[in-house]
A and B are shown apart, each in its own frame.
Chain A
């Protein structure tokens, strides 16, 4: 099975900050990497697919990069609506696996 490891598990930031979250895969997953945002008490929402393709309606302040085993999610100029937990997910092979999540909190 492919293990997904996110870092950090949590971070504190202020509105306007640039935030970077890293996701590492235990095996090469090419570009089969997706990112989701989950706010407290809500279902996850797809943010980015295939490493860097922004889902419909996602602001361009979000971006993704990487390939193989190391991937990053970057939020330029953090907005109040961006305080949430972020998960990476590999879609290379079953069983599908998620990272442990990164909680972005208000500093």
Chain B
């Protein structure tokens, strides 16, 4: 069974940094595409960033230049480095994996989420 397990969420001050991790089991982070999707408290889903199997990446306008997505195939783990955090970045962050079975950029596997709170 595929498992995606996020970690690294925490309370951080505005302007601070945080690195989220998503450890994958039975799902190769470098052979599939993966995204980070966030959900602010009581709000809907917002796509944050994607990394494709070939290594190309992309970002939502709201985080471009502040967040960096990466992966470590040796640890089979996905990362999201978040810098210059803003109060508006407060959310549960989900990692999501797409096996390609459902087409392009659809996500058939999701982690349980990790909470990032940005507050002074």
Contacts and interface: CB of A to CB of B under 8 A. Distances in A.
**B partners with A:** yes
Nearest to A31: B103
Given A50-B102, A87-B44, A95-B47, A43 B107 contact: no
Interface size range on A against B:
20 to 34
A91 B105 CA distance: 5
B106 A91 contact: yes
Contacts, number: 69
A43 B112 contact: yes
A81 interface: no
A73 to B, nearest CB: 14
A44 B98 CA distance: 13
B61 A46 contact: no
Contacts of A1: 61
Contacts of A55: 102, 108
Interface string A25-60: 000000010101010001111100110010100000
A49 B61 contact: no
SS of B interface (majority) = loop
Interface in B83-117: 94, 96, 102-108, 110-113
Interface of A: 1, 32, 34, 36, 38, 42-46, 49-50, 53, 55, 87, 89, 91, 94-101
Q: Identify which of B45, B61, B107 gathers the most chain A CB atoms within 10 Å of its CB.
A: B45
Contact of A43 (B60, B104, B105, B113): B113
Given A43-B94, A43-B111, A49 B102 contact: yes
B50 interface: yes
A46 B108 contact: yes
B107 A46 contact: yes
Given A46-B106, A95-B61, 7 more contacts: A32-B103, A34-B106, A44-B107, A44-B110, A89-B45, A97-B47, A99-B44
